Amino acid sequence: MCEGRACKEVHLCGIRAPSDGEEGFQESSDALMTILGGNLIKCTQVGGGTPCDEKGKSTDGEAIVATCHIGSHDIAEDMAKHGFACDQVSMSGGRYSGEGLGKPCDTQQSALKPAE
């Protein structure tokens, strides 16, 4: 997320995708780049009306934690729905898992191995 020439890393609230070095990272990263596709993205930081309000922090180190959309389309929902991230139910309230959506995370496994 950039304002002028200042850019910040953004973590999508409510989902967990593989980190660099974890199994599935490259596939997840490639999927995110495809979803973004050079479109204009609007992000709302936690605390400003996101599924993670009152459950999570608005920052993670130097990164901003936010819900991001392309138009009215939730990017985290796409990532979870297509299996490139899992739903952190404790943060999202289950928004990204359930009927027709993604799987909840199992905190003992990688992001791409959903809870059973």
Q: How many CA atoms lie within 13 A of 13 on its CB side?
A: 29
Question: pLDDT (tens digit, 9 = 90+) per residue, 28-51?
Answer: 999 999 999 989 999 999 999 999
The rounded Cα 43 to chain-centroid distance in angstroms is 11
The pTM of the full predicted model, rounded to 2 decimals, is: 0.83
Helix, strand or coil, per DSSP, at residue 40 = coil
The rounded Cα 56 to chain-centroid distance in angstroms is 13
Q: Is the pLDDT of residue 74 over 80?
A: yes
Question: pLDDT (tens digit, 9 = 90+) per residue, 78-93?
Answer: 999 999 999 999 999 9
How far apart, in Å, do the first and last CA atoms of the chain sit? 34
- Token pair for residue 27? 């596939």
Contact status, residue 28 vs residue 98, Cβ threshold 8 Å: no
- Token pair for residue 113? 């191995």
Q: How far apart are CA 63 and CA 54, in angstroms?
A: 18
Q: Which residue is it, tokens 């496994």?
A: 109
